Structure 1
């Protein structure tokens, strides 16, 4: 076995907590409490000096990616940390980044962890897709659309703009939005098609697409029909791809178990 090396980068604000953060990461499996969906990556909460920290443990990648992340690409944990700092510099909401850790051997990339402050929110965007009676449903949806427009104006293309990845917090009469799951982003000028395509994964409900199209058209001075037609066709295309993939996975599982 090659010896494992650890690389950690800690945000300036949390430098003095290095010992405690190391303790959390090195004992991740036995400490902390599970949080949310554990399917793909493991999320846990830890209490530290009056703060709740959210630690995301990324799965060990497949062998090709172990080589790629070791030598060619930034890890998901590093990208999450750097993108969070970038969003903060642009005044875009995201939970406070704390640190990231990477475990590597001489030739391969193994585990990585991203630590941020846990942010308590009222809802995520997902609740808007399931509870149409939620107070001020349309108002929140329009505010979310303005938030997305602002992202686009600041040249942020959040590639994982999906229902669970925007936390929503009511502050007085207003709403604040925070992005999570940050490891897939692109930065740069976005054309009309790229902007509207960014809404494709958010909802299956035509009524919600109509509201978002209306608000986005107002914000950008676009023609409503042009926005809606593209947003709805991109939404349908995404759904089609999503279910095709699901059916394929089911077939593969069936084939494997019946071999």
Structure 2
């Protein structure tokens, strides 16, 4: 294993541990994946099925190719997770990391007809940068991959209707921060709806939301600064993710 793969494994394992800390886990389900560099045909790291997020370590991540064959690791993967993650890795060269969650707020917004609303500057970051994919049942059908790819397009996130959230990034840091704030935007919408009702919510105008989204693009590099802060926090709490 070269140093680049070792670092990628540690970063992905860290993302799992942080997600557990933030309450994003859904027992054994949902997955984070990272594409291995220089692998030609997509090969990616993903969690072995059967482990909770706080049990994932750098060494127990498995490697799977686009055909579903396990390249390394002595555990199986979740077929539905493979369908979704392989679809993105196959279609997007820049999507080195893919994060998929089933959080309460994310699933609530995924069930809303209008999807994510521009309710806050956090929400506005995602204006015209989120795709939507209609629910087709549990993602066991590999034919759905082409439709997932079309729904995601060039966006940095995807709302899987009646299902959950998905984020992509060139690094684990990017995908994790996108998911953190996408989920936060959903939490804001859930709270606002409970307080005012969706019909009485004040929405940021589209033109202003577009401006705010552009402002966030200019500071996207700060995701890596925040990621280092997350890693320091995790190091203080439990550094065993690196094992």
Q: TM-score, normalised by structure 2?
A: 0.26
Kindly indicate whether structure 1 or structure 2 has the higher relative contact order, using CA contacts under 8 Å at least 6 residues apart. 2
